[in-house]
Amino acid sequence: MTSIKEREDKILSSPQSLTVEIEHLDGKGNGQAVYWRETEDGRRKKLKLTVPQTLPGEQVKVKVANPERKRQKAVLEQLLKAHPERVSPECPHFEKCGGCVWQHWDYTGQLTEKTNHVKKVLEEQGFDSTIVRETIGMEHPWNYRNKMEFTFSSDGSLGLHEQGNFRKIIPLETCLIAGELMADAAMEVGRWSKDHRLTGYNKDTHDGLLRHLMVRKSFTTGEMMLALFATEPPTDELETIAKDLMERIERTFPQVKSLLWLVNKEVADRVQSSDTYVLSGRDFIYDEMLGFRYRLWFDTFFQTNPTQAEKLVELALEMAQPQKDEKMIDLFCGVGTFSLPFANRVEKLAGIEIVETSIESAKRNAEDNGVGNTAFLAKDARRGIDEIAEKFGKPDLLLLDPPRSGAGGKVMRKIGRLNPERIVYVSCNPDTLALDLKELVPFGYEVKAVQPVDLFPHTVHVETVCLLTRK
């Protein structure tokens, strides 16, 4: 497979230079343009171009490898007319790294685009978009992520994936969206790997020792976790090398309360493990949100922008207005980020979630925080709703926070038939949100409030909280 740089070099060495205007952005945040090409027999043929790192209305000169095709990815060669909100990207890795796509866009412009997108997809499903509020942004839209995954290249250096090429690693110098100290701690691990001349995992030959490094950090307790994924355990000849890592980290990053060596021999390139070795500290770290304490293991799903996630929970509480005599369901509850603050305000709460370890964590988190009026069920949402409804009766309030794929028609219709008085839908994908909301209309529900919240500055993603009530 060729790298982006090689592809760009190939494109840039070809003579096909075109001038186009960027019309709009695609779902990944890339500029889209159309070029009309004259064929030798005088016909006009349409060429659709995707031009990364451009903005609507910009006039650009681009290089294209195969203009005879219908669709092409183009490389920006020269900016002829810039968007008024274009800014210089802050991060030196921006052009190559796959992490951020909009660092060239002023932050207020990004927020407006996110609001407009939520409005557009709701309108397309027949909803009144005037109720969509302006996206709540971050005061300081940097260093917001509490979890990062870095990858080792086969020479053992640690870095970030190149945009569009999971085989190419850009050596890590900094990461402006990772929480403070996270990239520094990762670079210390990178130096340790270099000093011991350790090899990185090669995805083609399946040789090599080191695969990934996951860094987690709690912004409230300050505790950090470093989880190193390797193909071999830290035993025999690797024991002294692992001990050196432990000593270096203990000396330089006392915030690391969990240093793990995880074994992953699988071909699948996922952050997973068959055996866990605790090199120092515990196998989890403590985090806190809105005064509740959570234990986070290496594989626990937890909101990755804690500053904005707190706002999300507060907004959901404000919209839902939970009451002390009410019964509530938290569907897709994860480890209980919404469940615990809501449970303290209702009579009883049932959480449903498909991942068993998350349900175990939710139960433990409820216990650790003295929240006694909860029941958590490890089930697929569809079957979980029936089971809870049977035991629990009709809920007054239902909150759902599904994955990007949405809840789907079957789950939404089950919710409609369950007929709760109020529904709060927390979504990380406006497109599936709009489709899901439409399913509730025949059941007499009305969308009362829509608030987008920016949890992922410099990316296309936007979170949305909606309130629905019965007419």
Among 261, 284, 338, 342, binds ligand SAM (CB under 6 A): 338
- Indicate the SS3 state at residue 239: helix
Is 152 within 8 Å of 200 (Cβ atoms)? yes
401 annotated as ligand-binding: yes
Check residue 349 for interaction with ligand SAM (CB under 6 A).
Answer: no
Instruction: State how far the alpha carbon of 130 is from the alpha carbons of 297, 361, 433, 436, in Å.
Output: 42, 40, 17, 19
Check residue 436 for interaction with ligand SAM (CB under 6 A).
Answer: no
Q: What is the CA radius of gyration of the chain?
A: 25
Instruction: Please identify, using beta-carbon distances, which residue of 333 and 440 lies nearer to ligand SAM.
Output: 333
The burial class, CB within 10 Å (0-12 / 13-18 / 19+), for 132 is buried
332 annotated as ligand-binding: yes
Check residue 333 for interaction with ligand SAM (CB under 6 A).
Answer: yes
The least CB distance from residue 26 to ligand SAM, in Å, is 23
The least CB distance from residue 334 to ligand SAM, in Å, is 3
Check residue 337 for interaction with ligand SAM (CB under 6 A).
Answer: yes
Among 290, 354, 389, 441, binds ligand SAM (CB under 6 A): 354
Specify the residue for token string 């433990």: 364
Among 247, 380, 386, 387, binds ligand SAM (CB under 6 A): 380
Residue 169 dihedral angles phi and psi, to the nearest 5°? -115, 130
Among 53, 135, 303, 464, binds ligand SAM (CB under 6 A): 303
The active-site residue out of 100, 175, 333, 428 is 428
The least CB distance from residue 383 to ligand SAM, in Å, is 9
Please report, to the nearest 10 degrees, the dihedral formed by the alpha carbons of residues 92, 98, 101, 107 taken in order.
Answer: -60
Could you give the angle at which helices 239-252 and 182-195 cross, rounded to 10 degrees? 150
Among 8, 58, 223, 353, binds ligand SAM (CB under 6 A): 353
Instruction: Please identify, using beta-carbon distances, which residue of 281 and 406 lies nearer to ligand SAM.
Output: 406
DSSP 373: S
Check residue 403 for interaction with ligand SAM (CB under 6 A).
Answer: yes
Among 144, 219, 332, 445, binds ligand SAM (CB under 6 A): 332
The least CB distance from residue 467 to ligand SAM, in Å, is 17
Check residue 401 for interaction with ligand SAM (CB under 6 A).
Answer: yes
Check residue 342 for interaction with ligand SAM (CB under 6 A).
Answer: no
In angstroms, the CA 118 to CA 127 distance is: 11
The least CB distance from residue 135 to ligand SAM, in Å, is 18
In angstroms, the CA 447 to CA 464 distance is: 13
In angstroms, the CA 64 to CA 49 distance is: 9
The least CB distance from residue 332 to ligand SAM, in Å, is 3
Check residue 456 for interaction with ligand SAM (CB under 6 A).
Answer: no
100 is catalytic: no
Q: What is the DSSP secondary-structure string of 292-354?
A: EEEEE-TT----S-HHHHHHHHHHHHHHH---TT-EEEEET-TTTTTHHHHHTTSSEEEEEES
Check residue 287 for interaction with ligand SAM (CB under 6 A).
Answer: no
Check residue 310 for interaction with ligand SAM (CB under 6 A).
Answer: no
Specify the residue for token string 């064929």: 39
353 annotated as ligand-binding: yes
Please report, as a single letter, which amino acid is at residue 228: L
Check residue 381 for interaction with ligand SAM (CB under 6 A).
Answer: yes
- Tokens, residue 88: 């210089």
In angstroms, the CA 277 to CA 245 distance is: 13
> Quick count: other Cβ atoms within 10 Å of Cβ 11?
20
Is 343 within 8 Å of 376 (Cβ atoms)? no
The least CB distance from residue 388 to ligand SAM, in Å, is 12
Q: Which stretch binds ligand SAM (CB under 6 A): 247-255, 318-326, 330-338, 387-395?
A: 330-338
Residue set of the binding site: 303, 332, 353, 401
Q: Which residues bind ligand SAM (CB under 6 A)?
A: 301, 303, 332-335, 337-338, 352-355, 358, 380-381, 401-403, 428
Residue set of the binding site for S-adenosyl-L-methionine: 303, 332, 353, 401
Q: Could you list the active site residues?
A: 428
